[in-house]
């Protein structure tokens, strides 16, 4: 290489090196708004807001935890008055609550109502979800809105008129009336859970099953049902938890012999007569433990955020 070429190559090499190492003005301008947005998000106001939100959450959880701990300790206390902790612990109040409130009969009625509502909701909700996921017909949006209506309004708004009708036709105070009342808000849960599961199944599977000679029953039993088992389990658990905790509709329609656990707990607190507070707390702990157990099981199969998104998207979808 000549001296002239070397002399020219030096500045070019330096320029190339500077070009490779110097940031592009375009990229710098593009990164500037992102940096400013990040600084705004991490500003004093944002940090203060996070502190307030976390503080409110911790305050709420601590208060709920203290209330539950107080009820639990009182249900096990032999005597608790004027001292930080009970003077002793016993299971006597649980045994007394079992006898006084006839919890064996109440739990049996609760199991009957819950079992019937779960089975009927799945039997009616799965075909409805299949129709909404597959069929196209006039008024589909309206049908979806009608199915979701019990989730959008408080149970009291339709519970009182429904209870009036049930009493007029002779079903008020009966087990069948309680089941029918709890069935009204349970169907939307099944539809909300099952519709996304059915939408994820390839419609060509049904056509392939028809080609190989499968009728509707065989297609449902051998093709569709195995794919829907996770959704059916999630829907059944959600309906179970919903029915156990449904107070308004059960209170309006239940009689003395058809009370579920939540209604029996209400009558134990507000009925006439002198009752030991420890027995009522023991009954409350039984109800709380049963409900919490099924809620934890249900959360293993379905996400609450998925249900919220389905409620928001359902009226818009075809």
Residues with Cβ within 8 Å of 299's Cβ and at least 6 positions away in sequence, in order, are: none
Residue 224 is given by DSSP the state: I
**Where are the chain's structural domains?**
25-90, 93-313
Lowest mean pLDDT among 15-24, 253-262, 297-306: 15-24
Q: What is the mean pLDDT of residues 96-115?
A: 88
Of 270, 208, 197, nearest in space to 230 by CA: 197
Q: What is the DSSP string of 145-165?
A: HHHHHHHHS-HHHHHHHHHHH
What CATH architecture is 93-313?
Orthogonal Bundle (1.10)
Q: Which SS3 state, helix, strand or coil, does residue 202 take?
A: coil
pLDDT of residue 305: 53
Q: Judge whether residue 117 has pLDDT over 60.
A: yes
pLDDT of residue 19: 42
* CA atoms of 139 and 204, how far apart (whole Å): 25
- Judge whether 117 and 181 are in contact, CB under 8 Å: no
Percent of the residues in the chain that have a pLDDT greater than 70, as a whole number: 78
Q: Judge whether residue 303 has pLDDT over 80.
A: no
pLDDT-based confidence at 290, cuts 50/70/90?
confident
Angle at 252 between CA 302 and CA 267, to 5 degrees: 90
pLDDT of residue 123: 92
pLDDT of residue 176: 92
Angle at 244 between CA 300 and CA 171, to 5 degrees: 140
- Judge whether 65 and 253 are in contact, CB under 8 Å: no
Which tens digits make up the pLDDT trace of 160-195? 999 999 999 999 889 999 999 999 999 888 888 888
* CA atoms of 156 and 247, how far apart (whole Å): 10
Top-ranked range on mean pLDDT: pick from 24-38, 269-283, 300-314: 269-283
Lowest mean pLDDT among 124-128, 159-163, 215-219, 303-307: 303-307
pLDDT of residue 38: 52
Burial label for 194, CB within 10 Å (0-12, 13-18, 19+), is buried
pLDDT of residue 215: 81
pLDDT of residue 71: 84
pLDDT of residue 314: 45
pLDDT of residue 36: 54
- In three-state form (DSSP H/G/I as H, E/B as E, the rest C), the secondary structure along 44-96 is HHHHHHHHHHHHHHHHHHHHHHHHHHHHHHHHHECCCCCCCCCCCECCHHHHH
Residues with Cβ within 8 Å of 22's Cβ and at least 6 positions away in sequence, in order, are: none
Q: What is the mean pLDDT of residues 265-287?
A: 78
Name the H helices within the chain.
3-21, 25-41, 44-76, 92-100, 103-134, 140-152, 155-168, 175-199, 204-211, 216-219, 225-245, 248-253, 261-270, 277-299, 304-313
Q: Quote the strand ranges of the chain, DSSP E.
A: none
Which tens digits make up the pLDDT trace of 130-146? 888 887 778 777 877 88
Kindly report the pTM of this predicted structure.
0.70
Measure CA of the first residue to CA of the last residue in the chain; give whole Å. 74
Which tens digits make up the pLDDT trace of 38-51? 555 555 667 888 88
pLDDT of residue 18: 46
pLDDT-based confidence at 12, cuts 50/70/90?
very low
Other beta carbons within 10 Å of 50: 11
* Residues composing the chain: 318
Q: Which residues pair with 77 in a beta bridge?
A: 89
Which tens digits make up the pLDDT trace of 212-229? 887 878 888 888 888 888
Lowest mean pLDDT among 38-52, 135-149, 234-248, 270-284: 38-52
pLDDT of residue 222: 82
What is the signed CA dihedral for 145, 308, 204, 224, rounded to 10 degrees? -90
pLDDT of residue 193: 80
* Whole-number average pLDDT of the chain: 78
């Amino acid at each position: 290489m000549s001296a002239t070429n070397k002399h020219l190559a030096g500045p070019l090499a330096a320029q190339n090196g500077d070009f490779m190492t110097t940031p592009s003005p375009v990229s710098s301008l593009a990164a500037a708004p992102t940096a400013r947005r990040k600084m705004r998000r991490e500003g004093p106001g944002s940090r203060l807001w996070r502190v307030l939100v976390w503080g409110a959450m911790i305050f709420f959880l601590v208060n709920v935890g203290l209330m539950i701990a107080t009820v639990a300790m009182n249900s096990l206390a032999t005597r608790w008055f004027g001292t930080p902790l009970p003077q002793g612990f016993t299971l006597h109040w649980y045994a007394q609550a079992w006898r006084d409130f006839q919890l064996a009969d109440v739990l049996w009625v609760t199991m009957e109502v819950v079992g019937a509502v779960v089975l009927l909701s799945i039997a009616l909700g799965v075909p409805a979800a299949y129709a909404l996921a597959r069929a196209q017909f006039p008024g589909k949006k309206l049908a979806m809105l009608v199915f979701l209506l019990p989730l959008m309004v408080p149970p009291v708004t339709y519970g009182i008129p429904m209870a009036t009708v049930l009493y007029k036709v002779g079903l008020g105070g009966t087990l069948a009336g309680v089941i029918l009342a709890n069935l009204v808000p349970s169907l939307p849960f099944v539809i909300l859970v099952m519709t996304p599961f059915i939408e994820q199944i390839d419609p060509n599977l049904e056509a392939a099953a028809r080609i190989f000679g499968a009728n509707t029953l065989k297609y449902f039993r051998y093709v569709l049902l195995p794919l829907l088992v996770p959704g059916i389990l999630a829907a059944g658990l959600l309906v179970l938890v919903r029915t156990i905790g449904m107070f308004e509709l059960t209170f309006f329609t239940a009689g003395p012999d058809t009370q579920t656990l939540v209604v029996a707990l209400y009558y134990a607190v507000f009925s006439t007569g002198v009752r030991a507070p420890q027995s009522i707390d023991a009954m409350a702990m039984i109800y709380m433990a049963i409900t919490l157990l099924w809620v934890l099981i249900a959360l293993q199969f379905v996400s609450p955020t998925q249900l919220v998104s389905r409620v928001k998207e359902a009226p818009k979808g075809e």
